[in-house]
């Protein structure tokens, strides 16, 4: 039986690597987030500069990867240059299967290379390739095209890379993998850039044994059947995550124009239904996922100066991208929105952070906090995507102090220029697209990643549309329970969309076939433990839960559950941390 327990340590300064068996970590923490946070604690000294050589990048996968459908995520851990504490970001594509097939459960990358490089990791060795010739290439897509031709492993490899935003250290730069998947949040691309690491390819040929062939096949068939028959999976296959635009707009929970409003009569244009009907050109899946939730628009446009000359661009769209670069900026012309998404992909930026930063800048200019002196002549205006495209380039290249401030995130920019009340970040991370009610916000505030995915507070709000909102303490307990369980899912590295399929019994059963015996009680305990460790890391790096800022805008704009009550949020947060830190 072979669990993925080997850890590859790469030193970018010395261009050397070593391998260590860390069964100790994998047997206790399973993989992914659990192993990731422990490798981060071991390898990230207290108080390091997130952009210095001592900030490690950790990638971790888990024991179900390559064995079962929908277990295809890679967890990245690092110290975030955006928030200054925990950086954790997940991506799919082919990354997880590639890492395990190369014979590894985790990869730890340390140091800074003196010259630009990219890494080619296989089951045989690690090559440190000179990337001087591709450094400075602005487009993440072009970088992928070049490396695809240079390296082997077509069909089973991952190619993680950064665009110019990562090189120029925009604090919310992303790492793009397989063209359409991202380690989007909290600035992993920035850390790549700080290490002069343009890309990483991983491939390999290892097979994975199971404890019982018969039980493996039976369990597999059960999961496969449930996956292809599930209505949730069908929803994400047909329209994709963007099927949530219209419901959120109808519920008046879709943050629009920097959350001045929460609905728009024009939302239909950027809805998943409209995009599918007019533009859907292809669906793509992560490795081992029957759902294929990744939806790609084919945008056919003429070249301006030449008649009958067209280009077709394939642009991915998802709920959060449409929120960030569509509704949040008042861009309801779907073609203009797709353009904006395309540029964000090319530069390699986090779509949510970018949208929130531009939305704040638009309102700041509206209110006169900044003028065209700061914006270098741009008049930022809701819905004006062409101007936003120009502003994006300035954020990446930072020609003046103002754009440099924007490249640090909305928290920093509003500290410099004012307008904190409408700077929509929580714990330093720009908000996702749900203004559903108080519990969503409690989730953004208390979640270890300040993400809607941590404890899914928005779903507690949404359940209260029909029912009653639980009291503040109950909400806290529910959030904590969900976030703790999700530590298990992200240690197995199962996609959260499959959380209904991977219930506790299924997890125990699949782990058993993978060679990992564990009880469901142990799962609960370890989930909570991982969450505590993540929070301990944050506190160690200066995170102060008691001092979390809540932008006033949240209380001004009514949610589907009415005006959001600050006392409810504060009470619930206090309870959350009390429960989290209780023995």
Binding residues for another protein (CB under 8 A): 66-69, 97, 100-101, 123, 141, 144-145, 148, 154-156, 178-180, 205-210, 213, 216-217, 220, 224, 228, 282-290, 292, 296, 314, 514
- 224: number of CA atoms within 13 Å, CB side? 9
Helix or strand holding residue 512 (H, E) = helix 504-514
Q: Measured from the CB of residue 247, what is the shortest distance to another protein in angstroms? A: 25
Contact 208, 3 (CB under 8 A): no
Q: Measured from the CB of residue 308, what is the shortest distance to another protein in angstroms? A: 23
CA distances from 98 to 109, 185, 205, 358 (A): 17, 22, 9, 36
| Residue closer to another protein, measured from CB, 28 or 208 | 208
3-state secondary structure of 349: strand
Q: Measured from the CB of residue 67, what is the shortest distance to another protein in angstroms? A: 4
Q: How far apart are CA 169 and CA 158, in angstroms?
A: 23
Q: How far apart are CA 324 and CA 343, in angstroms?
A: 13
Q: Measured from the CB of residue 284, what is the shortest distance to another protein in angstroms? A: 5
Nearest partner of 186 among 552, 473, 449, 540, judged by Cα: 449
| Residue closer to another protein, measured from CB, 179 or 559 | 179
Q: How far apart are CA 34 and CA 388, in angstroms?
A: 39
| Residue closer to another protein, measured from CB, 224 or 555 | 224
| Residue closer to another protein, measured from CB, 315 or 380 | 315
Neighbour-count burial of 549, counting CB atoms closer than 10 A to its CB (0-12 exposed, 13-18 middle, 19+ buried): middle
Q: Measured from the CB of residue 159, what is the shortest distance to another protein in angstroms? A: 9
Q: How far apart are CA 514 and CA 528, in angstroms?
A: 23
Take residue 373 and report the two structure tokens written for it: 């002196």
Q: Measured from the CB of residue 347, what is the shortest distance to another protein in angstroms? A: 17
Q: Measured from the CB of residue 101, what is the shortest distance to another protein in angstroms? A: 6
| Residue closer to another protein, measured from CB, 100 or 168 | 100
| Residue closer to another protein, measured from CB, 101 or 475 | 101
| Residue closer to another protein, measured from CB, 177 or 256 | 177
Q: Measured from the CB of residue 328, what is the shortest distance to another protein in angstroms? A: 26
Q: Which residues contact 3 (CB under 8 A, 6 or more apart)?
A: 23, 26, 27, 63, 105, 514, 515, 516
Q: Measured from the CB of residue 228, what is the shortest distance to another protein in angstroms? A: 5
Q: How far apart are CA 388 and CA 337, in angstroms?
A: 10
| Residue closer to another protein, measured from CB, 296 or 423 | 296
Phi-psi region of 549 (alpha: psi -120 to 50; beta: other; left: phi over 0): beta
| Residue closer to another protein, measured from CB, 107 or 445 | 107
- In this structure, the number of other CB atoms found within 10 A of the CB of residue 238 comes to 15
Take residue 138 and report the two structure tokens written for it: 């602005």
Q: Measured from the CB of residue 315, what is the shortest distance to another protein in angstroms? A: 9
Q: Which residues contact 576 (CB under 8 A, 6 or more apart)?
A: 442, 446, 476, 479, 480
Q: Measured from the CB of residue 24, what is the shortest distance to another protein in angstroms? A: 23
Q: Measured from the CB of residue 82, what is the shortest distance to another protein in angstroms? A: 27
CA distances from 550 to 97, 429, 576 (A): 40, 12, 16
| Residue closer to another protein, measured from CB, 217 or 367 | 217
- Residue 234 CA, distance from chain mean position: 23
Q: How far apart are CA 564 and CA 252, in angstroms?
A: 13
| Residue closer to another protein, measured from CB, 131 or 514 | 514
Helix 231-238 to helix 213-229 angle, to the nearest 10 degrees? Answer: 60
| Residue closer to another protein, measured from CB, 68 or 317 | 68
- In this structure, the number of other CB atoms found within 10 A of the CB of residue 360 comes to 30
């Amino acid at each position: 039986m072979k669990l993925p327990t080997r850890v590859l340590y790469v030193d970018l300064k010395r261009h050397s690597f070593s391998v260590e068996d860390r069964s100790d970590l994998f047997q206790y923490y399973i993989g992914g987030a659990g192993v990731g946070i422990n490798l981060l604690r071991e390898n990230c000294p207290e108080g390091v500069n997130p952009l210095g050589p001592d900030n490690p990048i950790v990638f971790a996968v888990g024991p179900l990867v390559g064995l079962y459908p929908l277990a295809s995520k890679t967890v990245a851990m690092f110290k975030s240059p955006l928030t200054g504490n925990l950086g954790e970001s997940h991506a799919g594509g082919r990354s997880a299967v590639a890492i395990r097939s190369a014979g590894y459960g985790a990869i730890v990358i340390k140091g800074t290379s003196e010259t630009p490089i990219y890494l080619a990791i296989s089951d045989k060795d690690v090559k440190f390739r000179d990337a001087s010739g591709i450094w400075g290439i602005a487009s993440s897509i072009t970088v992928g095209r070049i490396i695809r031709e240079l390296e082997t492993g077509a069909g089973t490899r991952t190619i993680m890379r950064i665009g110019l935003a990562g090189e120029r250290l925009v604090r919310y730069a992303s790492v793009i993998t397989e063209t359409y998947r991202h380690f989007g949040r909290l600035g992993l691309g920035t850390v790549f850039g700080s290490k002069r690491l343009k890309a990483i390819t991983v491939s390999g040929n290892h097979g994975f044994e199971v404890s019982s062939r018969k039980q493996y096949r039976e369990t597999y068939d059960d999961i496969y059947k449930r996956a292809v028959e599930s209505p949730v999976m069908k929803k994400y296959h047909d329209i994709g995550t963007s099927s949530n635009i219209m419901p959120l707009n109808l519920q008046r929970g879709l943050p629009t124009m920097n959350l001045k409003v929460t609905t728009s009569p024009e939302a239909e244009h950027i809805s998943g239904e409209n995009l599918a009907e007019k533009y859907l050109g292809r669906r793509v899946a992560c490795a081992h996922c029957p759902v294929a939730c990744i939806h790609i628009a084919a945008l056919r446009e003429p070249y301006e100066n030449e008649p009958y000359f067209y280009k077709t661009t394939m642009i991915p769209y998802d709920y959060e991208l449409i929120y960030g670069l569509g509704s949040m900026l008042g861009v309801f012309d779907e073609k203009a929105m797709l353009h904006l998404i395309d540029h964000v992909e090319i530069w390699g930026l986090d779509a949510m952070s970018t949208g929130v930063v531009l939305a704040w800048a638009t309102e700041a200019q509206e209110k006169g906090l900044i003028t065209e002196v700061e914006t270098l002549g741009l008049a930022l205006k809701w819905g004006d995507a062409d101007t936003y495209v120009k502003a994006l380039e300035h954020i990446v290249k930072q020609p003046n102090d103002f754009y440099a401030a924007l490249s640090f995130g909305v928290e920093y920019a509003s500290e410099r220029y004012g307008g904190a009340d409408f700077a929509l970040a929580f714990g330093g991370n720009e908000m996702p697209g749900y203004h559903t009610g108080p519990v969503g916000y409690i989730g953004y505030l208390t979640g270890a990643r300040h993400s809607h995915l941590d404890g899914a507070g928005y779903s507690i709000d949404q359940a209260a549309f029909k029912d009653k909102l639980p009291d503040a303490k109950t909400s806290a307990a529910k959030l904590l329970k969900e976030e703790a369980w999700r530590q298990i899912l992200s240690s197995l590295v199962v996609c959260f969309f499959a959380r209904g399929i991977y219930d506790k019994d299924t997890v125990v059963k699949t782990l058993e076939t993978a060679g990992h015996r564990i009880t469901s009680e142990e799962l609960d305990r370890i989930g909570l433990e991982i969450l505590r460790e993540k929070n301990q890391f944050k506190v160690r790096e200066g995170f102060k839960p008691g001092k979390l800022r809540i932008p006033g805008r949240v209380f001004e704009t009514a949610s589907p559950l009415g005006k959001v009550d600050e006392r409810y949020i504060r009470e619930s947060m206090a309870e959350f941390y009390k429960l989290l830190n209780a023995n």
